[in-house]
Structures are given as C-alpha cells and as structure tokens.
Amino acid sequence: MARQYFGTDGVRGTVGKDPMSADFALRLASAAAQVLVPTGGTVLIGKDTRLSGYMFESALEAGFVAAGADVLLLGPLPTPGIAFLTQQFAANLGVVISASHNPFQDNGIKFFDGNGAKLSDEVEAEIERVLQQPAITLESQKLGKARRIDSARVRYQEFCASTFPDDLSLDGVKVVFDGANGAGYKVGPRTLSQLGAEVIPLGCSPNGRNINAGCGSTQPELLQATVPAVKADVGIALDGDGDRVVMVDEMGHTVDGDQLLYVLATARKADGTLRGPVVGTVMSNLGLEHALRRQGIEFKRADVGDRYVLETLRATGGTIGGETSGHVICLDQTTTGDGLVAALQVLAVMKRSGKPLSQLVQGMSRYPQNLLNVRTRTRLDIKGIPAIRDAVQLAESELAESGRVLLRASGTEPVIRVMVEGENEQQVRILARRLAAVVEKAAG
C-alpha cells in the first residue's frame, strides 16, 4: 500500500491545511495506538517550540487516551531526546511534534518505536490503513490517562553529557551555540556548560514563531560571523528539532555533515574503534567518498533520509553515518541522529588531538555540486526514457572517475532533481544544465 501521509520523516505540512489539523492528529494518534500500543501501554509525546505544538499535543493526547494508552507529556525536547526517553521509560511509542528545519507555519508528527528507532515503511502503511476508519473511544474503565514528566530535559541532558569521554573536559573551550530557537535551546547550552565549556548562546530565545528564523543549521550566517568575532574555538548550530548539526570552525567556515562524518570516521579509524563502513546517502559529496577511500575506510550510500542511513548501518554493522544536511548518526552512542551528541563527539576529537576543527577537516575537499530541480506535470520514469538514459550515460563518460550524476524524483513534490558533481566546477555546471534541458523536454 502506497503511503498517502507519511513522507521521509513522518507527516508534515502547513498548519491548518490537510493533513496538519487537530482533527487529523487525533485520528492519527488513534490509528497509531491501535497498531503499536496495546491497551494500558505507554506513549511519550514531546515537541519543539512552535506555537502550534500546544494544539497538536492536546489532540494527540486525546486520541491516545481515548484508545486506551497512557500518555507522558515531555514538553519541548529535541527529537533524539524523545527516542532516548522512549527506551528509558519502557514506552511502546515515542511521538515528536515538529517540522524540523521548516518555518514555524509548518508542523509535523513523527514516531519512534519502543527501541527508539523510526518506524518502517510497512508499519507506517499499516497506520495509514487503520487511519481510514473513524477514531475509537473505549469504554470508560479502559481509557488511558496523561501526566507531565518534569524531569525529561534533565534526564536527556545527563545522557548527552555521558557520551563525552570521562577522561576529557571542555575546560578552556569557548563555544558559540545556536539552538535555532528550537527544541535544543536549553539542553545544548546547559550540557556544554556542565562539561566545562564557556558558552555563548544564539537562537536560544524561542517565542513560538522564531524557530529556524535567521538562525540554526540552515541559516548559520550569524554563527559564522560571531565565532571569529568573539574568538571562540568553535560554533555549533542545531536545527529546530535538534537532530541535525552544522558546525563552524574558529575562522567562521561552515563544516557540514559530510565533513563531520570525515572527522569522526578518521578519528575512530585511528584509535581502532571504527566498525563497518561509513554510510552516507546518494547526495553525499563525492569528496567524502574519495577522502575516506584514501584513508582505507569503506563508504556506502543509502537513499535520501536518515532512516535509510540507519537501516544500511544496521545491515552492514556500521556505526557512523549521516547526511550532508547534518543528520549525523553515531550508533556507538545512541539509536538515531542527534545533533548535540554528534557535536560532542567532534569536540572530543578536537580535545584529544589538540587540533582546531579547521585542521581536522583539511583531509577532505568538497567537490563542486550543481543541483537543478525540473518540475513535471506527471510522474516520469527516468530510467525508462531513452533520451534521458543516453544523456546520463554521456555525462558520466565525460566525468569518468572525477565526478558523478544523479537523477531522482522528489518524494514530496512533482520535481526531478538533477545533480552533477565533480572536480571541475565549470564542467559540472554545463553538464547539469544539459541534463536538466533533456529532462524538461521529456516532461513536455
């Protein structure tokens, strides 16, 4: 069964438009409870700082309680914190109300199973099947109950701090922390301070409307300017729900998810703790693959989406993976992508090596990458159109070993994404335009 509502990371959309309404949230909770939560089971609900989070929190609570589930309300907390606490409280299901890096007008709902892992496509399809039926309300004696957990943030904060090596501290390290006015606005600064760092906060004053606005991992310009201005050692920027991280070196240069993977993988290779291949996605920069190859580290690509990175890591026995956007997964520390935990691992490498972040990333060069979006009126079978197939083969032959081509259909809109990557920026740009023109002609 094709999924109608679930995308690559839960259900997401503009608040007030289908499906992001209070009515839908209640029905979604009812369906999820029927599939995953037995009567008397427990559900955790956390959220980011969006104004609409109050509405969805109440709707989800009503849907779960009516279906017989007990609900623990955690309040604002990073997405990976919900995954962690779902296991800590032995809950059947963890629910996150967040639209991640999107503006505050959007919101979303995503789930973790009892092991703190994201749901499979098959389970999401089953929830959608049940969702076609009306929400249920059990008889009074079988209804669930709800209560708030005031200790949630502290528990997660202590867990994050525990992933930093016991024999190290952040004494003498000045960190500028950008919380995107989102879910990590308290946990981030307090964890870093607990470990000894001097913390200068940015984007840590949420008002319900300013999440991801001119701050965070998708807009790190203020962080880039601030780090060298205050002579900080490093900058850390999370996104709105705290599962992504982008860092800034002491000179104000951004360090993306691919570069962070390189830093972590090479450090673990050096100390003998790296297991399995490093896993990126089809969109990961070719420079990462080549840099890891020079270090004798195997690299594999998964489909776009951190859930698919996670699946590949588990299938191959790997522990380090992620996306260019900053979804960095350290399976030797936690079960899902965690921006703060990933940043702490990088800080540990800096402290142990005595090297600044700018020096740690020198072994990897980001290759020029040109991404063009071609809108289509209908879904195209990219591989089944001879003109597109021939154009791709020609471009690949021109790039040879120095680049690559990727065409993929968007999972959220009628768009074909045309990506060309290689060492020669001018060649990359020309080939991308040529391929986009062929796709546009085929789309009519």
Residue-level pLDDT at 411: 64
Question: Rounded mean pLDDT of the chain?
Answer: 96
Residue 100 is a catalytic residue: yes
Write out the DSSP string of 267-281: HHHHHT---S-EEEE
Indicate whether 380 pLDDT > 90: no
Mean pLDDT for 162-189 is: 98
pLDDT on residue 362: 97
Cβ atoms of 374 and 440 closer than 8 Å: yes
**Structure tokens given for 79:** 């997405």
- What is the mean pLDDT of the segment spanning 29-53? 97
List domains and CATH numbers for the chain. 11-150 (3.40.120.10), 156-360 (3.40.120.10), 369-442 (3.30.310.50)
SS3 call for 299: strand
pLDDT of residue 2: 63
Q: What are the tens digits of pLDDT across the range 81-136? A: 999 999 999 999 999 999 999 999 999 999 999 999 999 999 999 999 999 999 99
Q: Quick one: what percent of the chain has pLDDT higher than 90? A: 91
Which of 30, 52, 98, 100 is the catalytic position? Answer: 100
pLDDT at 330: 98
- Mean pLDDT for 56-74 is 98
pLDDT computed for residue 212 by the predictor: 97
Please tell me the predicted confidence (pLDDT) of residue 329. Answer: 97
pLDDT at residue 382, as a whole number: 86
Structure tokens at 373: 């979006």
Confidence of residue 9 (pLDDT cuts 50, 70, 90): confident
The predicted-structure confidence for 321-334, as pLDDT tens digits, reads as follows: 999 999 999 999 99
- CB-CB contact of 10 with 111 (8 Å): yes
The string over 227-244, giving b where at least 16 C-beta atoms fall within 10 Å of a residue's C-beta and e elsewhere, is: bbeeebbbbbbbbbbbbb
Specify the pLDDT at position 374. Answer: 94
Calpha distance 372→389 (Å, rounded): 17
* pLDDT of amino acid 378: 75
Lowest model confidence (mean pLDDT) among 167-176, 218-227, 269-278, 407-416: 407-416
Q: Does the structure show a pLDDT above 80 at 412?
A: no
Q: Is the pLDDT of residue 410 over 80?
A: no
Q: How far is CA 45 from CA 94, 98, 100, 127, 306, in A?
A: 6, 11, 16, 17, 21
Closest CA to 112 of 91, 93, 87, 98: 93
Q: Are 163 and 319 in contact (CB under 8 A)?
A: no
Rg of the chain in Å (alpha carbons): 22
pLDDT at 403: 95
Quote the pTM value.
0.93
Residue in the structure block whose two tokens are 């007008």: 105
